[in-house]
């Protein structure tokens, strides 16, 4: 996939203009006056220092995608309600010395073409715009288990159908959202296959990443999806040793480009690779607080080791309520991360992922 521009936008309801910082992957930081931050190199790129700007703080230098350490800066000053916060185009991963998940590589972050938080108390909305050569994966609709003793079994889970192309759906069905076992809705790296949002309150600590997926944050599903999407099939093959897990997305629908069928206006300047989608999240944020918002999606081919997934983060000040309920921890599994135990204290053989201490082995 060719490198392309990535745009993270912070839009505040009280503001009269949209602030947008475009940074090619692996490029230098944002220009002065935008509070821009540099993007991490994915598979190579130059180091750059972002200049400080109104409403932001100095952007830290990006790192080459081949170097160990976090990509772009996660540092952010506390922001004022109604003011634009620091814009960043990645989440600072992979990195060493952190949790087991902190070293996981996100190899398709460019599919997140833009992230737009907006609104104020009592409702905050985060709009994630997706674009790629394949349609967005909305979730795992079927799990196939191939066992040498019991044979092959199939279990179906509802994924909202694309009844028109393009289409829209509120409160979308995301397939299986189980976090453990054969029928989990996770990829082989333990990331949700459905579009997910992770939230960190950074009011007390502007450097906190406590709610990130890498720190055991709890995924929040989208309130609505627009444009084009499809389901996927998860296959567990126990007839081979060691057993394998694979994710096979469905065939692509017709290309819809940036026609989002009633979705929000697409920010100017975004590339069009054929398949566009918007995932709209409604989240409970407290008025006057600062937040780090991490968005995660999967693309529609899933050909790379560990799963083709992208992430992006922004810092935002708003308030709100509502949103899709997160999945519950499986029976016998401890909660970890925000509201639970320290992720580093999960029992042996488990890792803190999606807010729960779950098996670090994807195939039991």
Instruction: Give the CA distances from residue 269 to residues 10, 113, 114, 228, 287, in Å, rounded to whole numbers and listed in that order.
Output: 15, 10, 10, 20, 31
Q: Is the omega angle on the peptide bond into residue 313 within 30 degrees of 0, that is, cis?
A: no
224 is written with which tokens?
């609505």
Q: Is the omega angle on the peptide bond into residue 107 within 30 degrees of 0, that is, cis?
A: no
Residue-range domain boundaries for the chain:
5-359
**CB neighbourhood size of 43 (10 A):** 12
pLDDT at 88: 52
341 is written with which tokens?
């135990």
pLDDT at 156: 98
pLDDT in tens, 234-274: 999 999 999 999 999 999 999 999 999 999 999 888 899 99
Q: From edge to edge, which strands make up the β-sheet containing 123-132?
A: 112-120, 123-132, 275-283, 224-227, 167-170
**CB neighbourhood size of 85 (10 A):** 27
270 is written with which tokens?
């975004």
Contacts of residue 360, defined as CB under 8 A and 6 or more positions apart, other chains included, come to 100, 190, 349, 350, 351
pLDDT at 153: 97
Backbone angles phi, psi at 109, to 5 degrees: -65, -20
- Residues 320 and 117: their CA atoms lie apart, in Å, by 11
Backbone angles phi, psi at 101, to 5 degrees: -85, -15
- Residues 35 and 211: their CA atoms lie apart, in Å, by 23
Whether the predicted pLDDT of 95 surpasses 60: yes
Instruction: Enumerate the β-bridge partners of residue 234.
Output: 143, 247
pLDDT at 46: 30
Who wins on pLDDT, 86 or 194? 194
Contact 267, 118 (CB under 8 A): no
Would you give the DSSP letter of residue 334? P
Average pLDDT of the chain? Answer: 75
pLDDT at 81: 52
pLDDT at 318: 53
Backbone angles phi, psi at 344, to 5 degrees: -75, -10
Who wins on pLDDT, 77 or 334? 334
What mean pLDDT is predicted for residues 303-329?
Answer: 68
pLDDT at 321: 34
pLDDT at 169: 97
Who wins on pLDDT, 188 or 47? 188
Question: Could you tell me the pLDDT band of residue 64, with boundaries at 50, 70 and 90?
Answer: very low
Q: How far apart are the first and last CA of the chain?
A: 33
- Residues 50 and 65: their CA atoms lie apart, in Å, by 17
């Amino acid at each position: 996939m060719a490198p392309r521009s990535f745009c993270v936008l912070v839009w505040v309801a009280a503001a009269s203009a949209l602030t947008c910082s475009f940074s090619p992957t692996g490029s230098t930081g944002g220009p002065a006056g935008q509070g821009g931050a540099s993007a991490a190199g994915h598979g190579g790129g130059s180091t750059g220092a972002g200049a400080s700007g109104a409403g932001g703080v100095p952007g830290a230098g990006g790192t080459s995608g081949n170097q160990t350490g976090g990509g772009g800066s996660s540092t952010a000053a506390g922001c004022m309600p109604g003011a634009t916060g620091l814009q960043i185009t990645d989440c600072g991963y992979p990195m060493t010395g952190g949790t087991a998940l902190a070293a996981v590589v996100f190899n398709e972050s460019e599919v997140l073409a833009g992230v737009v938080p907006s609104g104020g108390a009592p409702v905050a909305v985060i709009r994630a715009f997706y674009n790629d050569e394949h349609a967005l994966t909305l979730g795992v609709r079927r799990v196939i288990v191939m066992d040498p003793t019991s044979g092959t079994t199939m279990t179906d889970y509802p994924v909202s159908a694309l009844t028109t192309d393009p289409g829209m759906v509120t409160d979308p069905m995301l397939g299986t959202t189980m976090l453990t076992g054969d029928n989990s809705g996770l990829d082989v790296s333990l990331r949700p296959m459905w579009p997910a949002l992770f939230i960190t309150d950074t009011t007390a600590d502007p450097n906190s990443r406590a709610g990130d997926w890498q720190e055991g944050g709890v995924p929040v599903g989208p309130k609505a999806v627009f444009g084009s999407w499809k389901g996927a099939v998860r296959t567990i093959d126990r007839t081979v040793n060691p057993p394998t897990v694979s994710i096979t997305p469905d065939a692509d629908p017709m290309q819809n480009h940036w026609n989002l069928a009633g979705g929000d206006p697409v920010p100017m300047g975004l590339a069009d690779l054929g398949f566009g989608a918007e995932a709209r999240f409604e989240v409970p944020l407290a008025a006057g607080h600062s937040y780090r918002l991490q968005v995660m999606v999967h693309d529609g081919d899933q050909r790379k080791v560990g799963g083709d997934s992208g992430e992006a983060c922004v810092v935002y000040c708003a308030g709100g309520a509502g949103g899709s309920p997160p999945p519950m921890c499986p029976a016998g599994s401890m909660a970890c991360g925000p509201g639970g135990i320290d992720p580093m204290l999960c029992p042996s053989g488990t890792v803190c992922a999606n807010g729960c201490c779950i098996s670090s082995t994807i195939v039991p």
